[in-house]
Amino acid sequence: MLEVFIFATLNGLVTGFLLFMLASGLTLIFSMMGVLNFAHASFYMLGAYFAYSLSLYFGFWGGLIFAPLIVGVLGALVERYGLRKVHASGHVAELVFTFGLAFLIEEAIQFFWGRDTKNYQTPDLLDFPLFTLFGQEFSAYRGFMMAISIAIFIALYYVLTKSRVGIIIQAAITHPQTVSNLGHNVPLIFMGVFGMGTALAGLAGVIAGPVLTTFPGMAAVLGSIVFVIVVIGGLGSLAGAFIASLLIGLLQSYAIASDVGMPDLLNLLGISFDRSHPLNDLWTMNLPQIAPVLPYLLLVLVLIFRPTGLLGKREE
């Protein structure tokens, strides 16, 4: 029981930190431009694919360094030549644009890389168990994923709160006009932030690709979850996104690892139903089965009872 709990916690943290890498970029972009980037997870997928292709020539480590850069540049270009143009038509148009972009990137990936799963592997260097607990191994690669995510988290925190650029960014979020009057190039900052956010997503893709498998549906798998996170955390709140990432990561991990379900609950209450009961599916449901649904359930509940999210301030 304890070992299940410990491993579920560790895996939940790994997922949570990974999710935060995506959610942080999405949150930054939202707070700057007021647009939820639907294609964010697509940049994550691009990261994985670029890293896979690069790894064929330069090994895993080459991919780790260059793939996020390429993705970041692509993201900046999208902002410069796409999003900025659509901006004039309003928020709905922007959201719809990023939605279309997600669709296009998925198709483009199938065009360039094909529909099949890519054999993107963890590097040999990290192919050993980091530690063994109760006879179960925790791979070094997962430890590496966690280390990278935490390093990014700290770096991001430092950049945003301590550095000059970070302070300008924070100011540009709340007072774009003033910042622009002070002589800073706000469009350039926007482009930079979009590039950085997508690069972070790309990095997440690079390190997630080998474990979560690199295939054309990988954006769809994570995409809506990341959305859920930034909304639950509170749109525009980095701290909220952090809490929500870990929350969702752990929640899903525990739900999958647990083996309780409705039958247990019914037993506890001393109720039993016939197998032919019309709601049989409901009475036999168990937690691992509904794990994928939980984030969305949480989302709907949060939005109904606290539309601003956990730590969000914006009313609209």
**Which residues in the 196-225 window bind other proteins by CB under 8 A?**
220, 224
**Residue 85 is a binding residue for other proteins (CB under 8 A):** yes
Q: Which two tokens stand for residue 30?
A: 């939202």
- Cα–Cα distance list, 54 to 24, 135, 217 (Å): 25, 36, 20
# binding residues, other proteins (CB under 8 A): 43
**Residue 289 is a binding residue for other proteins (CB under 8 A):** yes
Within 10 Å of residue 103's Cβ, how many Cβ atoms? 13
Query: Contact 97/83 with Cβ under 8 angstroms?
Result: yes
Query: Contact 47/210 with Cβ under 8 angstroms?
Result: no
Cβ at position 139, least distance to other proteins in Å: 29
Residue among 77, 93, 251, 287 that touches other proteins (CB under 8 A) = 93
Distance CA(96)–CA(204), nearest Å, equals: 24
**Which residues in the 111-130 window bind other proteins by CB under 8 A?**
111
Cβ at position 184, least distance to other proteins in Å: 27
Q: What are phi and psi of 307, to 5 degrees?
A: -60, -20
The interface mask with other proteins, positions 244-283, x = CB under 8 A, is ----------------------------------x-xxx-
Instruction: State the DSSP code for 138.
Output: E
Buried/exposed code over 119-140 (b: 16+ C-beta within 10 A; e: otherwise): ebebbeebeeebeeeeeeebbb
Contacting range for other proteins; rule: CB under 8 A; set: 54-62, 102-110, 130-138, 266-274: 102-110
Residue among 51, 200, 222, 228 that touches other proteins (CB under 8 A) = 228
Distance CA(257)–CA(170), nearest Å, equals: 40
Query: Contact 37/230 with Cβ under 8 angstroms?
Result: no
Contacting range for other proteins; rule: CB under 8 A; set: 8-16, 49-57, 158-166, 289-297: 289-297
Q: What are phi and psi of 313, to 5 degrees?
A: -110, -25
**Residue 183 is a binding residue for other proteins (CB under 8 A):** no
Q: At what angle do helices 2-33 and 186-212 cross, to 10 degrees?
A: 160
Within 10 Å of residue 186's Cβ, how many Cβ atoms? 17
Residue among 4, 262, 285, 310 that touches other proteins (CB under 8 A) = 285
Query: Contact 152/203 with Cβ under 8 angstroms?
Result: yes
**Which residues in the 3-42 window bind other proteins by CB under 8 A?**
36
Residue among 231, 246, 248, 311 that touches other proteins (CB under 8 A) = 231
Residue among 17, 49, 227, 242 that touches other proteins (CB under 8 A) = 227
Nearer to other proteins, 141 or 227 (CB): 227
Alpha helices in 79-129 (DSSP H): 84-86, 91-113
Contacting range for other proteins; rule: CB under 8 A; set: 10-18, 116-124, 193-201, 227-235: 227-235
Q: Which residues bind other proteins (CB under 8 A)?
A: 36, 82, 85-86, 89, 91-93, 95-97, 99-101, 103-104, 107-108, 110-111, 220, 224, 227-228, 231, 235, 278, 280-282, 285, 289-290, 292-293, 296-297, 299-300, 303-304, 307, 316
